[in-house]
Amino acid sequence: MARRILAAGNWKMNKTPSETKAAIEAMKATCASEETEVLLCVPSIDIPAALEAAAGSNIQIGAENVYFEDSGAYTGEVAPNMLTDLGVKYVILGHSERREYFAETNETVNKKMIKCFEHGLIPIMCCGESLTQREQGVTMDFIRQQVKVGFLGLTADQAKAAIIAYEPIWAIGTGKTATSDQAEEVCKGIRDLIRELYGDETAEEIRILYGGSVKGSNAAELFSKEDIDGGLVGGASLKPDFGDIVNYNK
């Protein structure tokens, strides 16, 4: 079965609820597609406004993070059932910014992965290396560890439903982009690891995204690669021009 291309936006800490409504209203026409799956992951406070604005369109709304407990004294956190109660299906986990600024680890990402599947959420688990790690030639060693720990305890059915986003840290928000061959090499390595862990069927079904300065001008080349199934897009997903990525094949 062919893997459907996913254009997923990560809004990070941008836009108020009123700005969210206006932005999504402007995107409805530009992001319309019968072929590409479209997702915007927005700040938690913007989710209700985003869902309202996206209603009736092909744009799905996801979250940028979730906690690994169902409830409790965890001030400022968002529980998985809070997201599902709103109608959210997808959530980003382990983004490099969460790891760098908020002490996320492979182990906490794993707890969140498990908790997502308990509640029917589909995790988009991020992985990626720094420029120093790439220059030292340890890219795949580092990413294999992130994925192996992140997926620890997941069944094959859960693994094939999950999404992995490869985002080289040196290419996020810098204007630098891994070449399509560099991105494909790592995404293939990730798929090969999933094959080692879960077998051919899971490896062929799991979707692997590339993230890192994806834009309309390079989306077609990136998404044409055998092991790249779409993109996790930052700044370019905040504007109607996101439609150029969604409709990369037009």
Could you read off the pLDDT of 91-117 as tens digits, one per residue? 999 999 999 999 999 999 999 999 999
- The reply to whether 150 falls in a domain is yes
Residue 82: inside a domain? yes
Domains identified in the chain, total number = 1
The rounded distance, in Å, linking the Cα atoms of 89 and 96 is 21
- Could you tell me the pLDDT band of residue 73, with boundaries at 50, 70 and 90? very high
Please give the DSSP secondary-structure letter assigned to residue 177. -
Residue 151 is assigned to a structural domain of this protein: yes
Which pLDDT band, with edges at 50, 70 and 90, does 15 fall under?
very high
With a cut of 70, say whether residue 1 has pLDDT above it: no
The answer to whether position 1 is within a domain reads no
- In angstroms, the CA 105 to CA 101 distance is 11
Query: What phi and psi values does residue 130 have, to the nearest 5 degrees?
Result: -80, 170
Structural domain includes residue 192: yes
Instruction: Say what the pTM is.
Output: 0.96
Name the active-site residue from 95, 104, 129, 184.
95
Residue 128 predicted with pLDDT over 90: yes
Active site residue 19: no
Domain assignment present for residue 235? The answer is yes
- Give dist(CA 56, CA 198) in Å, integer: 37
Taking residues 176-195, what's their average pLDDT?
94
State how far the Cα of 87 lies from the Cα of 26, in Å rounded to an integer. 22
* Residue of 37, 97, 129, 167 with catalytic role: 167
Range of the domain at 152: 6-246
* Residue 146 pLDDT exceeds 60: yes
Q: What is the largest CA-CA distance in the chain?
A: 49
Average pLDDT, the chain: 96
Decide: helix, strand or coil at residue 250. coil
Q: Check residue 77 and report its DSSP letter.
A: -
pLDDT at position 173 is 73
Does 172 have pLDDT greater than 90?
no
Specify the CATH number for the domain of residue 48.
Answer: 3.20.20.70
Whether 167 is catalytic is yes
Contacts within 8 Å (CB) and 24+ apart, 70-76:
70/115
pLDDT for the residue 176: 75
